[in-house]
Chain A
Amino acid sequence: AQSVSQHNHHVILSEAASLELGCNYSYGGTVNLFWYVQYPGQHLQLLLKYFSGDPLVKGIKGFEAEFIKSKFSFNLRKPSVQWSDTAEYFCAVNVRNNRLAFGKGNQVVVIP
């Protein structure tokens, strides 16, 4: 079945540690990929997106993601996290006409 997979649903790490969240999708053809973040008590907001071109995408707040077509992956990274990065992170694939398919999310807790 077509899906978006995110592993390690709960991640706990200390400030200044590096963060990497995995995302794998099973949709074929051309895909547009997104990472959304939901800070406590706030809306879902876009972190970054990939449509075409350079597979390494820079987003807001120091986040970046790498699209590896051969692995159907779009992993999110941040070299050094801060307490304010505590949030839930969702990977999403644009399936068709802006219909997004989301993964189950990663709950990230950064300990000061």
Chain B
Amino acid sequence: DAGVTQSPTHLIKTRGQQVTLRCSPKSGHDTVSWYQQALGQGPQFIFQYYEEEERQRGNFPDRFSGHQFPNYSSELNVNALLLGDSALYLCASSSGGGAGETQYFGPGTRLLVL
């Protein structure tokens, strides 16, 4: 049973560029959440997708957008990259999105913006 997978593992971009990160949830999971983890900080919630719709969103600008596909996989897009977007981006999956469900995290994509 594959866990949560993310691609790519590492990415280097320059300011102003756009980036797309991908996530495949754990088998049987239908909810995907994205988190940003800056160096020395805990993960911060970006947004969550359930039934192909953004269900809730954290305090991130509109430059951060996402999508969920019918197979529950998800993409995170960041436009007009800033130096401050450099971070580890984590995807987490769960089932149903209820408060009692454990979230399983992927290995993350490390983004460096130069």
Interface: A51 (CB within 8 A): yes
| A45 x B33 contact (CB < 8 A) | no
| B43 x A90 contact (CB < 8 A) | yes
| Residues of chain B within 8 A of A34, CB atoms compared | 102
Among the interface residues A36, A45, A99, A103, which one has the most CB atoms of the partner chain B within 10 A?
A99
| Residues of chain A within 8 A of B31, CB atoms compared | 98
A-contact 0/1 string along B74-114, CB 8 Å cutoff? 00000000000000001010100111111111111000000
| A97 x B55 contact (CB < 8 A) | yes
Interface size on A, residues (CB 8 A): 26
| A98 x B107 contact (CB < 8 A) | no
Majority secondary structure of chain A interface residues (helix, strand, loop or mixed): strand
Provide the bound-state CA to CA distance between A49 and B101, in Å: 10
| B56 x A99 contact (CB < 8 A) | yes
CB-contact partner of B40 in A51, A102, A104, under 8 A: A104
Provide the bound-state CA to CA distance between A102 and B78, in Å: 22
| B99 x A44 contact (CB < 8 A) | no
B-contact 0/1 string along A2-14, CB 8 Å cutoff? 0010100000000
Interface: B70 (CB within 8 A): no
| Chain B residue with Cβ nearest A103 | B42
| Chain A residue with Cβ nearest B43 | A102
> Which B27-86 residues have C-beta < 8 A from chain A?
31, 33, 35, 40-45, 48, 55-56, 58
CB-contact partner of B43 in A42, A94, A95, A100, under 8 A: A100
| A97 x B97 contact (CB < 8 A) | yes
Residues of B within 8 A of A (CB): 3-4, 31, 33, 35, 40-45, 48, 55-56, 58, 90, 92, 94, 97-108
Residues of A within 8 A of B (CB): 4, 6, 32, 34, 36, 42-46, 49, 51, 90, 92, 94-105
